[in-house]
Structures are given as structure tokens and as C-alpha cells.
Amino acid sequence: MEKIKVFAPATVANVTCGFDVLGFAVNAPGDIIELQKADHNEVRILSITGDNGRLPKDAEKNTASVVIKAFLEAIGSKQGIDIHLEKQMPLGSGMGSSAASSAAAAFAINKLMGEPMSMKEALPFAMEGERIACGAAHADNVAPALLGGFVLIRSYDPLDVIKIKTPEHLYSTIVHPHIEVNTKDARNILRGQVPLDKAVKQWGNVGGLIAGLLQSDYEMISNSMEDTIIEPIRSILIPGYDVAKAAALKNNALGFGISGSGPSMFTLSQNEKTAKKIGESMRDAYKQLGIGSDVYTSKVNDEGPIILYSE
């Protein structure tokens, strides 16, 4: 193979109670990357579209090229690679924009080099992109973006990632108000220590959410979608958070939370009709506040990255 074009999906990280350990992929939006083998021995970004000129073309600073360099180094290859990146989602959105580029890059380079790794083996390289983007190699966006589905990061050291089966008709709705929150900033405002009573509640909810998903028990899912640690601090960064939450819950959302580090917010629901209605209600709530927004509804995307073209 000489050339490959790949799509990798956006993701919802944290999923309320699972800060840095839970995430799932959605069908859209996402990023597209095209890689071509070159006759030089560098990794070069030739073009980036959809970023309004904001993303670095410096191969040491873009998540896509950082991942590819780390991957090639690990397999001992000096292959030159030319990259074209199509950003199809906003930066600082809370939908895993940096991770979509990282996952697309890891998936594409692995295919281009004849699949020397499984996707689980490629994950640590994709995580290096997150380190560049926000200073922490958290995996809760990049693991579902790369592996597809709903993912639990049981452990970071050693890395242990588990795919969780979800109910067939589970839908997510994401609302992205047109404001920006930088993940690095949203991590820096968190406290380093958690009171025991809050921790007990949170890990109870993580267990409950996983059990609810595995048993298709919507009541258990709903009861477990609570975040006593991160939401009270980060929701302050998101104008209209309480209004959007009230609108979603009034329209039968199973639960509501910040998507990743925000400003996007997400809900889960039991069918597409409810998911769409929730989306409309959150968009209306933001309209009334004079803030534009985009809404995405999707089942959990079990597939992850896909090849759009190869030769």
C-alpha cells in the first residue's frame, strides 16, 4: 500500500462519573487523514483544512504527526510520510478533536505499514498525541476513537482497556455550544484530592453504569449518570449548563453530563426519537441564551476508524 485515507470518529470522554476512564465513540463528526509514502525520510504535514489556520503544521506539535513519528520509531522504520489532514470538528470542543486526529493517524499508519500492530498495541502511540494536545496522555477519547465502542480504561499502568457492550438501542445526543474550552485549562482547575465520601459515590456510579450497560438496564444507567467530583467545578466554565441540563432531563434523557472537558454536553437515551427531541430542546435552550450550537445524535459507534480509500 502506498496511500491511505481514513476517517476517525469524535468521542464522548468521562461519561459523567468516569473521569479519564470511560469514553465512547459516535458516528459523526470526526477527522479525515490521508497518508502517502514519500521518498524522503521525514514525517511532513503538507496540508490542513477545516482548522481556520489554527493548527500547527510543525510535525513535532500536531497530534497526527507526533503519533506517526512515535509509531515509525517503535517499528524501527525510516519511511517518509506526507500527511493531509481534514479537520471536520472544532478544536477545544469536548468531542475529542485532538484524539480523532491521533486515532486516525495511528490506524492509518498501521495499515500503511502492513499492520505490524493490533489496535490495542497501537493505542499507546495514539495516546502520545493527547500528551502533545493537553499535557496528559489520557486515553478516554483516543481509546474509543481507535477501538470503537464504549471503552473502560481499567488501568493506565499497565495499560488495560476493556470494551463494554452497550444496549442495542442506546443513543447519545451531543450539544456543542459555540464557545471554546481548552482541555489543558479545564484540567488545571481540578483539585488533586477528592474527599472520601465523594469518591465512594463516584466509584459506585462507575460500577453501576458499567453493570447497567452490560445488562441493558436503563434505570441503572440513569441512576449511575451522576458526577459528584468534576461537574461542580467544570460546569462553571460552560454558560447555560444548567438550562441545557434541565431541558434534556425534562425530555427524558437518561442522564446528562459534560462531554470530555466541555463545552459540549451529552445525554444518553433509549431511542432515536427521544435523542432527537433532546437535541432540539438543548439547541432551543441555547438559542434563547443567544448562543449558537450544533447537535449530533448517534448510536455508540462500534466500528471506530474506517478506510475511505487506499491504493
Q: Answer yes or no: are the C-beta atoms of 70 and 123 closer than 8 Å.
A: no
Strand-pair partners of 266? 174, 257
Query: 77 among the known binding-site residues?
Result: no
Applying CB under 6 A, among 251, 261, 267, 270 the residue interacting with ligand ATP is 261
Nearer to ligand ATP, 260 or 279 (CB): 260
Nearer to ligand HSE, 189 or 308 (CB): 189
Q: CA 188: distance to chain centroid?
A: 19
d(CA 149, CA 151): 6
Q: Are strands 43-49 and 80-86 parallel, antiparallel or unpaired?
A: parallel
Nearer to ligand ATP, 103 or 220 (CB): 103
Classify residue 242 by burial, with Cβ atoms within 10 Å: 0-12, 13-18, 19+: exposed
Residue for grid cell 513535532: 60
Q: Would you tell me how many other CB atoms lie within 10 Å of the CB of residue 195?
A: 11
Nearest-approach distance from CB 264 to ligand HSE, in angstroms: 9
Please report whether residue 101 would count as binding ligand ATP according to CB under 6 A: yes
Q: Which DSSP helix (H) or strand (E) runs through 99?
A: helix 97-112
Check if 130 is active-site. yes
Footprint on residues 82-111 left by ligand HSE (CB under 6 A) = 94, 96
Q: Would you tell me how many other CB atoms lie within 10 Å of the CB of residue 75?
A: 14
138 binds, among ligand ATP, ligand HSE, none (CB under 5 to 8 A by kind): ligand HSE
Please report whether residue 138 would count as binding ligand HSE according to CB under 6 A: yes
Please report whether residue 131 would count as binding ligand HSE according to CB under 6 A: no
Query: 113 among the known binding-site residues?
Result: no
Residue 9: CA atoms inside 13 Å, Cβ hemisphere, count? 27
Catalytic residue chosen out of the listed positions 63, 173, 183, 274: 183
First to last CA, the chain: 6
Catalytic residue chosen out of the listed positions 34, 86, 128, 130: 130
Q: Would you tell me how many other CB atoms lie within 10 Å of the CB of residue 53?
A: 7
Please report whether residue 182 would count as binding ligand ATP according to CB under 6 A: yes
Q: Answer yes or no: are the C-beta atoms of 259 and 94 closer than 8 Å.
A: yes
Nearest residue to 195 (alpha-carbon basis) of 236, 223, 167, 228: 228
Question: What is the pattern of x (binds ligand ATP, CB under 6 A) and - over residues 102-141?
Answer: ------------------------------xxx------x
Query: 95 among the known binding-site residues?
Result: yes
Q: Which stretch binds ligand ATP (CB under 6 A): 18-26, 61-69, 204-212, 244-252?
A: 61-69
C-alpha cell at position 43: 514525517
Check if 42 is active-site. no
Please report, as ranges, the residues that interact with ligand ATP according to CB under 6 A: 55-56, 62-64, 91-99, 101, 132-134, 141, 182-183, 260-261
Give the annotated binding-site residues for ATP. Answer: 90-100
Give the annotated binding-site residues. Answer: 90-100
Give the catalytic positions in this structure. 130, 183
